[in-house]
């Protein structure tokens, strides 16, 4: 249970960190399992009808005592029929098409590189809403269906109802094997939480206020113009056990040494303990006049290897220096990248297509590569023409951003007199 005496910043930092971990899990859950989880959540909502109505009664009594208008009280009120409708809405979301994994476009470059853009979840969505308790279930369902983790912050008038609905949702999704932290409810009605959520850059990816104009205005007061940029390019190459040794050597040396000052340069080399030619790889880098900072295993390979310090893993050298370590398989490599990476460009080298596809799916970076140099991370190389920059943010545009990233869209509706029934 959360300690309510802590600051809103600490609370949101803690919830955000949990949400981020849950989001990594959620991103890999199959469409079918997400649908099953929502159907289980709908069932749990129906099963909890009595408890939810009881909680709602507390909110209604407090609301009446506080002089809420009859319109507000009506929005707040839950009964059997309304809870049934909430559960049904969750089931309907389970049956919507899952956009995750959809191919947006694909192209083959003249040099044989095959590029594609694939839909992935945004990550962590913060929902700020008011007195309608059904938003707790609706927003959570939409967020989960699309593979995200959700942090819900409802209005104080509906707190007991929201908590009861949230508890039922969590029960349903955990029964279906989804992480409980994928749907969290902010356990305080302190208004400062809204500001803390807006300032949680890197922990929450987008804030969606759902409510009247005053709520939206309050949220937007603290808003800033969005920034499209990347802070670091800490690019990794993971050399898998089944990597072709010649290819590995060529790619690793090129990814580090072709130009050391660009954001797509490799900064960390992760070699699988089962890869038989690690020593040759390290020697190739050293022979190319690259300084290598390695863990004990790497240092045993060549006397020229320096000792790596903890700070190295998060350093973008932009110089002829690389940090290197052995890893115990892909899980270890991905965990290292998740801890120290910057979501810019990360690559796997392997002759095993199944391993490669797993890495491409599981690595959460703007650009993921298989058997190619990370130095290709560039708008020109991607065939986009001149680029305005590379984005490691998750909103609007990711990776190399060129002309298309400087546009948005509008919906054009052409009718012949249609009115809405």
Interacting residue with a copy of itself among 3, 32, 310, 404 (CB under 8 A): 404
Interacting residue with a copy of itself among 143, 169, 275, 320 (CB under 8 A): 143
**What SS3 state is found at 199?**
coil
To a copy of itself, the closest distance from the beta carbon of 189 in angstroms equals 20
69 binds a copy of itself (CB under 8 A): no
CA 305 to centroid of chain Cα atoms: 35
**Exposed e or buried b per residue across 33-61, where buried means at least 16 C-beta atoms within 10 angstroms of its C-beta:** ebbbbbbbbbbbbbebbeebbebbeebbe
Q: Which is nearer to a copy of itself, 213 or 289 (CB)?
A: 213
Q: Which is nearer to a copy of itself, 240 or 299 (CB)?
A: 240
Interacting residue with a copy of itself among 87, 152, 169, 200 (CB under 8 A): 200
Residues 6+ apart with CB under 8 A from 137: 41, 45, 86, 87, 89, 90, 165, 169
Chain positions 257 to 276 lying near a copy of itself, rule: CB under 8 A, are 258
Q: Count of residues binding a copy of itself (CB under 8 A)?
A: 112
Which range in 17-25, 43-51, 271-279, 409-417 contacts a copy of itself by CB under 8 A? 409-417
**What SS3 state is found at 400?**
strand
Strands 306-307 and 291-294: parallel
CA distance 153 to 241: 46
Q: What tokens were used for 262? A: 């660009």
Binding mask 284-323 for a copy of itself (x = CB under 8 A): --------------------------------x-------
Chain positions 373 to 402 lying near a copy of itself, rule: CB under 8 A, are 373, 375-376, 381-382, 385-386, 388-389, 394-396, 398-400, 402
Give one DSSP letter per residue of 305-327, joined into a string.
PEEP-GGGGG----SSEEEEEEE
Give the residue among 256, 280, 279, 252 at the shortest CA–CA distance from 267: 256
To a copy of itself, the closest distance from the beta carbon of 317 in angstroms equals 12
Give the residue among 191, 192, 174, 194 at the shortest CA–CA distance from 182: 174
Which range in 61-69, 78-86, 139-147, 153-161 contacts a copy of itself by CB under 8 A? 139-147
CB 75 within 8 A of CB 132: yes
366 binds a copy of itself (CB under 8 A): yes
To a copy of itself, the closest distance from the beta carbon of 120 in angstroms equals 5
Binding mask 210-249 for a copy of itself (x = CB under 8 A): x--x--xx-xx-xxxxxxxxxxx-----------x--x--
CA distance 6 to 259: 47
Chain positions 76 to 135 lying near a copy of itself, rule: CB under 8 A, are 89, 92-93, 96-100, 104, 111-122, 125-126
Q: Which is nearer to a copy of itself, 58 or 116 (CB)?
A: 116
């Amino acid at each position: 249970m959360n300690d309510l005496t802590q600051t809103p910043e600490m609370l949101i930092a803690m919830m955000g960190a949990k949400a981020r971990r849950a989001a990594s899990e959620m991103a890999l859950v199959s469409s079918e399992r997400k649908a099953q989880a929502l159907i289980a959540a709908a069932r749990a909502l129906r099963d909890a009808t009595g408890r939810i109505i009881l909680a709602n009664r507390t909110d209604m009594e407090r609301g009446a005592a506080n002089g809420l208008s009859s319109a507000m009280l009506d929005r707040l009120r839950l009964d059997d029929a309304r809870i049934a409708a909430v559960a049904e809405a969750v089931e309907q979301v389970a049956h919507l098409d899952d956009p995750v994994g959809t191919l947006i476009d694909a192209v083959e470059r003249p040099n044989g590189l095959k590029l594609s853009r694939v839909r992935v979840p945004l990550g962590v969505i913060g929902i700020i809403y008011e007195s309608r308790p059904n938003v707790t279930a609706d927003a959570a369902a939409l967020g989960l269906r699309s593979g995200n983790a959700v942090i819900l912050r409802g209005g104080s008038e509906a707190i007991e109802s929201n908590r009861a609905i949230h508890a039922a949702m969590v029960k349903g999704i955990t029964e279906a094997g989804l992480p409980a932290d994928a749907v969290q409810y902010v356990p305080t009605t302190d208004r400062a939480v809204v500001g803390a959520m807006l300032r949680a850059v890197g922990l929450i990816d987008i804030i969606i206020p759902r409510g009247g104009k005053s709520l939206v205005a309050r949220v937007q007061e603290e808003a800033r113009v969005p920034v499209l940029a990347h802070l670091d390019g800490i690019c990794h190459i993971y050399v898998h056990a089944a990597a072709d040794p010649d290819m590995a050597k060529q790619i690793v040396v090129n990814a580090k040494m072709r130009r050391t000052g660009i954001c797509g340069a490799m900064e960390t080399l992760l070699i699988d303990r089962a890869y038989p030619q690690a020593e040759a790889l390290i020697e190739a880098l050293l022979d190319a006049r690259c300084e290598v900072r390695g863990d004990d295993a790497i240092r045993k390979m060549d006397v020229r290897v320096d000792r790596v310090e903890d700070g190295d893993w998060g350093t973008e050298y932009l110089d002829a220096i690389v940090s290197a370590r052995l890893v115990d398989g892909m899980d270890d490599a991905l965990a290292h990248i998740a801890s120290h990476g910057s979501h810019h460009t990360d690559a796997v080298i392997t002759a095993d297509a199944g391993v490669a596809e797993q890495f491409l799916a599981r690595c959460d970076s703007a650009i993921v590569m298989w058997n190619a140099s990370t130095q290709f991370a560039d708008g020109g190389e991607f065939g986009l023409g001149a680029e305005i920059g590379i984005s490691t943010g998750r909103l609007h545009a990711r990776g190399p951003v060129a002309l298309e990233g400087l546009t948005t869209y509008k919906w054009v509706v052409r009718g012949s007199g249609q009115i809405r029934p």
